[in-house]
Homo-oligomer: A and B are copies of this chain.
Amino acid sequence: MRAALDLCREVGYRKLSIEGIAARAGVGKNTIYRWWPSKSAVLLDGLVSAVTDVAFPHTADVAADLKTQMVTVAGSIASPDIGPHYAALIGEAQQDPELARALWDRLISHLVAAAVQRIQLAQRQGQIRPDLAPDLVVELLYGPIYYRYLIRQRLPDEEHINAIVDTALAGLAPSPASSQTAPPA
């Protein structure tokens, strides 16, 4: 997995091959094929082992905890060891439903589960509206990050992440916010 990450960093995802990974790892390519069906599978396992620092702090302030975790994760994704590989796999997954499922099962679902848990705690503590589905809260907080990453091709810095969290919590409408969400006549 380390050989796959290193080699992908050097040559890029397109030129990555099972043969190349095997050569770098000093094994035969049948050894690789015994454990992984494709280059994307090796790389995904490499990513799973590299993206470890996704835990949330549990202070009394959910906004601060969200910011801390999101800045850490964005910093980790910004590293050349992870970022380009992660974007390549998400890109490849658009054409490969099996990879999309693996990416979800082995990596993203765990990130989402950790976020849902932290959000549910904040809901019990009265810091996030208890009527909202935690999954919707995840989309509103992390959607802007992925949008920037995949569509604008850049990761938000700390200041921008703080603005996303603060604005998502406070809402786009001038307060009192509730008056803005009434349905039209």
Chain A residues within 8 Å of B, Cβ to Cβ: 12-14, 59-64, 87-88, 90-95, 97, 100, 104, 108, 126-130, 132-133, 136-137, 139-148, 150-153, 160, 163-164, 166-178, 180-181, 183-184
Bound-state Cα–Cα, A147 to B140, Å: 9
Q: A164 near B180 (CB under 8 angstroms)?
A: no
Q: Please state if A63 and B168 are interface contacts (CB–CB under 8 Å).
A: no
Verify A128–B172 contact, CB threshold 8 A: yes
Choose among B142, B146, B171 the residue that contacts A168 (Cβ–Cβ < 8 A).
B171
Q: Once bound together, how far apart are the Cα atoms of A68 and B142, in whole Å?
A: 23
A128–B145 alpha-carbon span in the complex (Å): 21
Complex alpha-carbon distance, A64 and B137, angstroms: 21
Minimum CB–CB distance from A124 to chain B (whole Å) comes to 12
Partner of A95, one of B88, B148, B172, B175: B88
What are 15 A-B pairs with beta-carbon distances under 8 A? A87-B94, A91-B93, A91-B94, A143-B145, A143-B147, A144-B144, A166-B181, A168-B168, A169-B173, A170-B173, A170-B180, A171-B171, A175-B175, A176-B176, A177-B177
Q: With a CB–CB cut-off of 8 A, which chain B residues contact A60? A: 184
* A13 partner, pick from B95, B136, B145, B166, beta carbons under 8 A: B95
Q: Which residues of B contact A108 (CB under 8 A)?
A: 151
Q: How far is the CA of A94 from the CA of B97 in the complex (A)?
A: 17
- Bound-state CA distance A62–B172 (Å) is 11
Cβ B180 vs Cβ A169 within 8 A: yes
Most chain B CB atoms below 10 A, which of A63, A87, A163, A177: A177
Report B-chain residues with C-beta under 8 Å of the C-beta of A176: 175-176
CB proximity of A48 to chain B, nearest CB, Å:
16
Take A172-B132, A175-B176 as given contacts and tell me if A94 and B61 are in contact as well, using a CB distance cutoff of 8 Å: no
